[in-house]
Structure 1
């Protein structure tokens, strides 16, 4: 551990020299430090300067805390040594070196207990609780915070109580106990304002925004986020800026629709604030959010870049070696507390034994009773020793299980990365499959027509009209091949454009024409696979629908997928009927119906694709939109058509794609597209509290 701390100090101290002098109180403290002699007052001054820079410059905090600790040890100033340890531990915590922070924090706690200094003890307990909270270890964090709260209330230390109340709320928010989190954070926030504790105020405001967002109060959440950002900017408190911006990004992501761009923008601000303030936990959470957001947009290159940053930051914070050190230190502290408790029990037992001896000298008749009591105590001690042995064995088993769990977690992360790459590759293959099938089918028909054309030319009684008809058919097929080759090229071009600049704009489009064209293309493709297949195609199109703003190329891919699935279903049912009843049987007519209409609310349009095919079993209907899930036999489907269609409708267009089906009777997919999304977005933004995000 000493080697790790020394290496970390070697890395951070040179960077400190390039920092600009912070304004206000830190500047005046540095001026005092230049003339202060090497006595206990200088120790206090160094510790105070380290405290003032904790949230804005953790590297400087480590530097001043180290100087304060060295001077206090030289002067044998134990109380000053305790304060220097508290500040130094806070600096290591903010810099992301959790093992060093825990080791130094436990040393500070032991000094505070030995000195019986309530102010020092409260701060040491609060620092340890905050360290465990940042690592996501809620239970020990809550225990330390409540101990600090009791010390603050007993000593009437309001400044400490201001910090502790908000920290307890942070832990309850981490445990998803939102009512308790709001109660303690609100109490802490009121004390922050009363005591003019800006650092605690902006931190509690950001966390209150997170709690209100989780409770479904977006307006209140935005108000707290903006308040935290405004106040934190003035005080250069980067950790609070990072938390508030990240909370805003998550809120915008939940609102969806046009807020997606705002979510990415403020998430990048959060990452910049975390990097500026050297706040590793904020960097980790912001880069994870940005990686997930860009992955959802199918921007794999950017997503991978942020995922790499998140992985490197996580390793620096929660690597196996560091976590093992933290676990060992925490276990050592628990064993130390158990040992102290045992020593206290033994001391009490010795005092009782002395009292018993004195009582024996005064009252001999009670000797037998006292002897019996002593035997009972010895039996209890043996039982306690047995229990301690069992606890130690359970502790070793838990430590082994923890190491196995972390190994499995790393393997799972690698598998998830490979699965993501596989899904991306399969999605590209699936999107290109439809136009390539059309090219293949039309190319086959063109070959047949060319053979007929050659036969006709070879005939002595040349029929010019027949030749012209065949030539026209060949030309038409070549045009179809060119069109679908262009569609394949457009799909690739669209994916490349998405990876650089996001989704294409929505333009007013004639949905009726798009629906009819998609249905006919899907039918021609199915007939090209089975020339004997025939189905009844019906359209029920609203003539008053008017243009609807959509990404026409993406919506056409959705309609082709749905129509192709419907034709596949009726074809499968027709084949089943023929196998069951024979070729001469009648009664089943394959039918696909496509309709468009205004929604009942009048705020959007609906496209319905219905077939009387095989239907979808009820037990698998909830899985049809999942990637790689398919009811088709192996080799006939990738399981990505409905998954990609669902993403296009819900993410690109802000609509819905729903399913209704009854096995053996019908299947119906309904697409809902909002036609007033732009007006709704403007109205929602204007109804929010004052203050806006500029791009």
Structure 2
């Protein structure tokens, strides 16, 4: 799957919008002011910064020279804020020129300066700039770390606009890391905040992020709608660079839907914008999008030429995301051209960059960063409560001392009794109030302690998941390395079979009759050998694909689903699929669905895959028993659902061959199968067990009797 581009982040790269003529006039006016008032003071620094803002989008070299002038003057004036602003401008300008080393150097200097002066707002902005630098270099884990570090600083400074930008950045990175559950609320909140603050940059950025997320989730209508809205906002602001980016995204959505004319229409608009603005940053993305359209149109030569250009430009700028996309296109194009050596080379390049961008290690690192961020927030609240309690204790001590001093200074018998009674009542009231406060603080402390314990338990579970993920990575790595040579075995066996057939149709006819019999025998043996290689190669390919599915696990999102509808829809699909291979097979299906089952929160695609597998196994067992020719036997399948107090159940019962007790103990083991060689991989029930038990916290049980049939029960918690 192609890694989603963080489109909205690129929207923040624009440092100025508006009419070019107005910008030119403003720049001329500022040049005139700087010439007429050469006095080296803070006013001149502010004018230099204003002129840099006007020239940043049109004349980056001159803007860099002016930023260096502003930095030198600010250092001479020892103006910390102006020094930091000058450093940030140098970083932004170098980043726009894809000169990441100096950009990171200047931003780190600015951040250290703001941290020393306790300027939370500008320190947060420096963290955002460091995050954007890492995003452009396709380093999502490091980018997420900087954004999560900047968000609490912006919250402390109560900078709502900066908070919205950081949340949008975090949401876009989560999307790039395939953490869609975390990405969606972040991007939606960024959009709401941008609309509330009337910040068109944030609105445009959030729309692009939501469009990219919908594109990855294959929600095509939403993706098109968000991209069109983003294009309209960018055009309204005069931001041609981000209008180009969104045109590219819309073209890619059309390509994914197979709408080639519409894709080329938007691709042509993106290319026209790139040429008009000499936008070298977006040029590789346009070339790669057009290369993909040629590949879809069956023109691999054009696809190779454009993808090679995009790859060379991306390698010069070290943009890993574009390098990965270019390698993917080249691998597919060379495969179409049957140049398998080049296809294999670019496929390995694609795999290496894909692992760098979205590997499990990167996702686990991002999960740890998010966990540490939440843990630090909880610990900060605990510290604040402890400080409040200490202040209450000190206040109580001072009140008691005042009370004792008052009692010691009282004189007179009648007056002493009245004052003692009054002070006793006062002390009781104060103590009661303090006890109530202490009780409230203790309850809050206990709640936070419980939350901290829950977070630590979650950390323990995360470590356990990492251990299991390591085993999955090993399995996936082995399967991946087997997959490529296995593809070559299958391809070359099929090609060799075609060569034998061509030889029989051509040169074989010209052989003498005395040699034809011997040649025919050799060719028949060679054909049979190649057919066996192909048969067993495809069987091995199915096993490898099963291993990859087993190691990947589930990645879907749970959603409320009508369970009866889900069970009903997949039953005819499985039956028709089985009948397509066994046309003489018929069966009686009986169903009993509990109307109280209603909707259950689950991953419909994964549970549907489990149901199809169970139905297929039942049909296979009944087909095997039917072939025994038993008198009076007819296949029957019973499917029912039932809602209990804490769970819902799905039961699938067949009257097939059944299984003995020893086989029932092994059915959930990977690669164990009762089917003959070549008819099963032994991964279906293993995957089903992982989906129901590990993925949904349910139960999957099997009861069977030889010669009678099998009943499978799925239990899902509600």
Shorter chain as normaliser: what TM range? Answer: 0.5 to 0.7
Q: Does 1:45 find its partner at 2:86?
A: yes
Deviation at 1:193, TM superposition (A): 0.7
| Partner in structure 2 of residue 413 of structure 1 | 480
| Partner in structure 2 of residue 170 of structure 1 | 212
| Equivalent residue in structure 1 for 2:581, among 619, 642, 648 | 619
| Equivalent residue in structure 1 for 2:466, among 379, 383, 399 | 399
Q: Does 1:285 find its partner at 2:285?
A: no
| TM-score when normalising by structure 1 | 0.54
| Partner in structure 1 of residue 164 of structure 2 | 122
Taking a change above 3 Å as real, the CA distance of residues 407 and 337 of structure 1, as seen in their structure-2 partners, is farther
Residues 209-260 of structure 1: CA deviation (Å, up to 9, x unaligned)? 1223334543332222121222234445455333333333333333x34x34
For 1:110 and 1:191, locate their aligned partners in 2 and report how far apart those are by CA, in whole Å: 29
Q: Does 1:154 find its partner at 2:196?
A: yes
The equivalences for 1:480-519 within 5 A come to: none
The equivalences for 1:120-519 within 5 A come to: 120-238=162-280, 240-254=282-296, 256-257=297-298, 259-318=299-358, 322-339=362-379, 384=451, 387-388=454-455, 390-434=457-501, 445-446=513-514
For 2:523 and 2:124, locate their aligned partners in 1 and report how far apart those are by CA, in whole Å: 83
For 2:500 and 2:249, locate their aligned partners in 1 and report how far apart those are by CA, in whole Å: 48
SS of 2:282's partner is helix
Contact 1:50 1:62 in 2 (8 A): yes
SS of 1:176's partner is coil
Contact 2:187 2:206 in 1 (8 A): yes
The equivalences for 1:666-685 within 5 A come to: none
- Greater alpha carbon shift after TM alignment, 194-203 vs 91-100: 91-100
For 1:422 and 1:221, locate their aligned partners in 2 and report how far apart those are by CA, in whole Å: 36
Deviation at 1:197, TM superposition (A): 1.9
- Greater alpha carbon shift after TM alignment, 106-115 vs 259-268: 259-268
| Partner in structure 2 of residue 493 of structure 1 | none
Deviation at 1:322, TM superposition (A): 4.7
Residues 565-604 of structure 1: CA deviation (Å, up to 9, x unaligned)? 9xxxxxxxxxxxxxxxxxxxxxxxxxxxxxxxxxxxxxxx
Taking a change above 3 Å as real, the CA distance of residues 447 and 619 of structure 1, as seen in their structure-2 partners, is closer
| Partner in structure 1 of residue 659 of structure 2 | none
Q: Does 1:29 find its partner at 2:63?
A: yes
- Greater alpha carbon shift after TM alignment, 235-244 vs 399-408: 235-244
Deviation at 1:416, TM superposition (A): 1.2
| Partner in structure 1 of residue 597 of structure 2 | none
Taking a change above 3 Å as real, the CA distance of residues 206 and 433 of structure 1, as seen in their structure-2 partners, is same
Contact 2:194 2:203 in 1 (8 A): yes
Taking a change above 3 Å as real, the CA distance of residues 223 and 55 of structure 1, as seen in their structure-2 partners, is farther
For 2:516 and 2:216, locate their aligned partners in 1 and report how far apart those are by CA, in whole Å: 69
For 2:347 and 2:448, locate their aligned partners in 1 and report how far apart those are by CA, in whole Å: 54
Any unmatched runs of 5+ in structure 1?
A: 1-20, 450-476, 482-524, 531-560, 566-616, 622-637, 639-695
Residues 48-99 of structure 1: CA deviation (Å, up to 9, x unaligned)? 3433454541525334423433554566654333322221221122123333
Contact 2:56 2:63 in 1 (8 A): no
Taking a change above 3 Å as real, the CA distance of residues 22 and 352 of structure 1, as seen in their structure-2 partners, is closer
Taking a change above 3 Å as real, the CA distance of residues 367 and 527 of structure 1, as seen in their structure-2 partners, is closer
For 1:128 and 1:31, locate their aligned partners in 2 and report how far apart those are by CA, in whole Å: 32
For 2:259 and 2:282, locate their aligned partners in 1 and report how far apart those are by CA, in whole Å: 20
The equivalences for 1:514-553 within 5 A come to: none
Taking a change above 3 Å as real, the CA distance of residues 80 and 423 of structure 1, as seen in their structure-2 partners, is same
- Greater alpha carbon shift after TM alignment, 196-205 vs 225-234: 225-234
| Partner in structure 2 of residue 578 of structure 1 | none
Deviation at 1:309, TM superposition (A): 2.7
For 1:177 and 1:276, locate their aligned partners in 2 and report how far apart those are by CA, in whole Å: 34
For 1:312 and 1:232, locate their aligned partners in 2 and report how far apart those are by CA, in whole Å: 30
Contact 2:168 2:187 in 1 (8 A): yes
Deviation at 1:526, TM superposition (A): 8.8
- Greater alpha carbon shift after TM alignment, 427-436 vs 282-291: 427-436
Any unmatched runs of 5+ in structure 2?
A: 1-54, 395-424, 532-578, 584-677, 679-718
Task: Give the number of aligned pairs.
Answer: 447
For 1:66 and 1:386, locate their aligned partners in 2 and report how far apart those are by CA, in whole Å: 35
Deviation at 1:206, TM superposition (A): 0.9
Contact 1:238 1:277 in 2 (8 A): no
Residues 181-216 of structure 1: CA deviation (Å, up to 9, x unaligned)? 222222221110111223321111111112233345
